Amino acid sequence: MSSSKEVTIYDIAEALNISPATVSRGLKDHPGIRKDTKKKILEMARKMGYQHNTFASNLRRKSTNTIGIIVPRLNSYFMSTVIAGMEKVANENGYNVIISQSLESYKKEIASANTLFNSRVDGLIVSVASDTPDSDHFDMFFKKHIPLIFFDRVLERPGCTTIIIDNHRAGYDATRHLLDQGCRRIVHIAGNLNRNVYAGRLEGYKQALQERNIPYDPSLVISCNLTEQCGTQAARQILEMNPRPDGIFAANDTSVVACMRELKHAGIEIPGQLGVVGFNNDPISKVIEPNLTTINYPGQEMGEIAASTLINKITKSGNSSLDTIVLRHELIIRQSSLRK
């Protein structure tokens, strides 16, 4: 048989000299089919290269049991734990997932949304790219009443659930800890301030300074893409500052670990001369010396809650009407910030 021809249940039925209905029931493990017949059907199906047309079957049922996920990037510890949580819950509930990276591009995010919509996903979970201005490209999902949940980097949309931590409070807690350790001139390494997560952390930083009557100095805020290269460049800027800062609060661990390495290489003592706090509690925070004080961000829990909430919306079970779910964060104090 030509390999280019799609094998059907009729081909299997003809090869075994049985009815197509028997083949169909055998492939579905129907209890009314004898075990030896079922075995022959499955063996012939494998031999002939039969593929079940899940897409056509799902169209008939008007459900694909598939969840779409769009994230900025997969190459972070936080995002990998979020995805793990989503996949765990999805698989436990009989759903598959399709994951797409926007690579921090609004245009790529639009393309991913279109692809997942055309793939007929039952629901969508999104953390938006750094340059995404609005949620218009998701209108097609809302018009079709396909549930959509935003997490971490979110957009406000009526009737759409968002899952976040209190980034304002987390930024405040991190900065206040440095202030309690005697820091007075604190650099903040921030992400793209158009996004809620980084804007919130900056506002928390500002509030902590204000409570201690320390004027906010915009020149101490370094906004970048929070990569290792960003951290290295931030360290070089810090070394050129006069007077030199005595503290750093960074919006992620990746950038500030690179920053610490560069500063240590230049002879700066941490925490003696400069206390440091990061964000995300990445494994790297326990590898760098001194170990990094950081904010623990519950990625696995966020992923599990996002998937559970979405599935509840899809199946219309449980409480799926919540607009905002706020998860708890935790300041984990290690040696990098302990100046007292």
**pLDDT at residue number 27:** 85
Give CA–CA dist 286/170, Å, rounded. Answer: 20
**pLDDT at residue number 7:** 84
**pLDDT at residue number 111:** 95
DSSP secondary structure letters along 232-261? HHHHHHHHH-SSPPSEEEESSHHHHHHHHH
Q: In which residue are the tokens 């659930």 written? A: 161
**Which ranges in the chain are annotated with CATH 3.40.50.2300?**
65-165+299-329, 167-297+331-337
Asked if pLDDT for residue 59 goes beyond 60, the answer is no
Q: Between 3.40.50.2030, 1.10.260.40, 1.20.1290.10, 2.60.40.1180, what CATH number should domain 9-52 receive?
A: 1.10.260.40
**pLDDT at residue number 60:** 55
What is the tens place of the pLDDT at every residue in 134-185? 999 999 999 999 999 999 999 988 878 999 999 999 999 999 999 999 999 9
If pLDDT is split at 50, 70 and 90, which confidence band does 54 have? low
Asked if pLDDT for residue 53 goes beyond 50, the answer is yes
Percent of the chain exceeding pLDDT 90 equals 76
Mean pLDDT across the chain: 92
Q: Residue 60's Cα: distance from chain center in Å?
A: 32
**pLDDT at residue number 32:** 84
**Which ranges in the chain are annotated with CATH 1.10.260.40?**
9-52
Lowest mean pLDDT among 28-37, 146-155, 171-180, 275-284: 28-37
Note the helical H segments in 131-290: 139-143, 167-180, 196-211, 228-240, 253-265
Give CA–CA dist 232/222, Å, rounded. Answer: 12
Mean pLDDT, rounded, for 79-104: 96
Q: Which CATH architecture has domain 167-297+331-337?
A: 3-Layer(aba) Sandwich (3.40)
- Which own/partner contact pairs does 32-41 have at CB distance under 8 Å and 24+ positions apart? 40/16, 41/12, 41/16
Q: Which residues of 21-52 are buried (b: 16+ CB within 10 A; e: fewer)?
A: ebbbbbbeeeeebeeeebebbeebbeeeebee
If pLDDT is split at 50, 70 and 90, which confidence band does 1 have? very low
Q: Which residues of 257-271 are buried (b: 16+ CB within 10 A; e: fewer)?
A: bbbbbbbbeeebebb
* Range 65-165+299-329 has CATH code 3.40.50.2300: yes
